[in-house]
Amino acid sequence: MHSKEELEEVHQRILPYIHKTPVLHSSLVNEISGTDLFFKCENFQRMGAFKMRGATNAILQLPKEQQQKGVVTHSSGNFAQALSLAAKSIGIPAYIVMPSSAPQVKKNAVKTYGGIITECPPSLKDREENAQRIMQETGASFLHPSNDTNVILGQGTAAIELLQEYPDLEVIVTPVGGGGLVAGTALAAHFFGKNCKTIGAEPFEADDAYRSLQSGKIETNKTTNTIGDGLKTQLGDKNFPIIQQYVSEIIRVEENEIIEALRIIWERMKIVVEPSSATALAAVLREKEKFRNKKVGIIISGGNVDLSQLLF
């Protein structure tokens, strides 16, 4: 269904709008983990997360006339910011439906990137109804943060770049939230790697993907009580089949393992990453024997942390 050429086209299409992010390598963290780790740093991506890739591809794949009418999503996280900045870069409006309860810092970030915010009561029903209304009023196209083929293919371009730089990676590990990143990465690893596996990392506290792979159908999160606030979202029918076919395994991690991995990344690697990003390293540290002496890619998903409360 998908092909290497298709993924290459996606990459070429979004390249003018994204950063080719650096890959970091830390001998200290290699020592701690017993593996050879290559961190693809999407925290250095525009607006601070890989979501910029998928949002850009999804907008660029809309027919020109439809594109001009703008895009709409309901999200309080990185995708809202990514869609706002991608739309601004391409020169079209982005309508963002946000729950009124969303932190002011997230509303400000969306505004900074040029997104047009509609606030609504904090229920999924209200969010969906507001998005629907905006679509009818403006003709804007709805884009989903993770369950959209063009978004998935866009997210996969981080792994394409990682494999272009390090073609011998034996496995790539990514966090699993809505499933867009892990699905896109798995396609990229399949088409651009040499027998490179993809493994997902997920908090026990939001393990819908793990249980979905076990049962063979999309399961819902029973809890979402995790520090990885980008990982509370659900798999969807577009990314689940790709995950079933191309992802080798989902490793679940405890909250204290995420925090320990987060500390290692901040302290040893000196980079600012979101808690969600740390799940991938946490999975490698939890199952050391599985990864021992392997060449392992890790997608650092983003770096948008509200530092104001912590540091200043």
Supply the residues annotated as catalytic: 51, 76
Burial bucket for residue 36 (CB in 10 Å: 0-12, 13-18, 19+): middle
The sign of the CA dihedral 247, 252, 258, 260 is negative
Please provide residue 49's backbone torsions phi and psi, each rounded to the nearest 5 degrees: -165, 155
End-to-end CA distance of the chain: 50
251's enclosing H/E stretch is strand 249-253
CB atoms inside a 10 Å sphere around CB 192: 21
Task: Assess 44 for contact with a copy of itself (CB under 8 A).
Answer: yes
Per CB under 8 A, the segment of 43-51, 87-95, 129-137, 150-158 that binds a copy of itself is 43-51
Report the residue number, 237 or 267, with the smaller CB distance to a copy of itself. Answer: 267
Residue in this structure with the two tokens 């629907």, named with its chain if needed: 132
What Rg, from alpha-carbon coordinates, does the chain have?
18
Pick from 69, 259, 294, 295 the residue near a copy of itself by CB under 8 A. 259
Measured from the CB atom, is 141 or 276 closer to a copy of itself? 276
Alpha-carbon distance values, 20 to 95, 103, 288 (Å): 27, 30, 30
Nearer to a copy of itself, 39 or 191 (CB): 39
Classify residue 2 by burial, with Cβ atoms within 10 Å: 0-12, 13-18, 19+. middle
Query: Which segment (5-13, 120-128, 266-274, 286-294) binds a copy of itself by CB under 8 A?
Result: 266-274
Which range binds a copy of itself by CB under 8 A, 2-10, 55-63, 163-171, 263-271?
263-271
Least distance CB 113 / a copy of itself (angstroms):
11
CB of 48 to a copy of itself, least distance (A): 6
Applying CB under 8 A, which of residues 272, 287, 290, 295 lies at the interface with a copy of itself? 272
Q: What length is written for the chain?
A: 312
76/96 Cα distance (integer angstroms): 9
Nearer to a copy of itself, 1 or 311 (CB): 311
Q: Which stretch binds a copy of itself (CB under 8 A): 32-40, 55-63, 122-130, 262-270?
A: 262-270
The minimum distance between CB 19 and a copy of itself, in angstroms, equals 8
Which 48-77 residues touch a copy of itself, going by CB under 8 A? 48
> Pattern 16-35, binding to a copy of itself, x per CB under 8 A?
------x-x--x--------
Decide if residue 311 touches a copy of itself (CB under 8 A).
Answer: yes
Give the C-alpha separation, 198 to 134, whole Å: 38
What's the min distance (Å) between Cβ of 164 and a copy of itself? 17
What residues contact residue 268 under an 8 Å CB cut-off, 6+ apart?
Answer: 26, 28, 29, 32
Task: Please identify which residue in 33, 35, 43, 155 interacts with a copy of itself, judged by CB under 8 A.
Answer: 43
**Among residues 124, 125, 270, 289, which is the contact residue for a copy of itself, using CB under 8 A?**
270
How far apart CA 55 and CA 307 sit, in angstroms, is 25
CA-nearest of 300, 276, 292, 283 to 31 is 292
263 contributes a contact to a copy of itself by CB under 8 A: yes
Chain residues in the site for a copy of itself (CB under 8 A): 22, 24, 27, 41, 43-44, 46, 48, 259, 262-263, 266-267, 269-273, 303, 307, 310-312
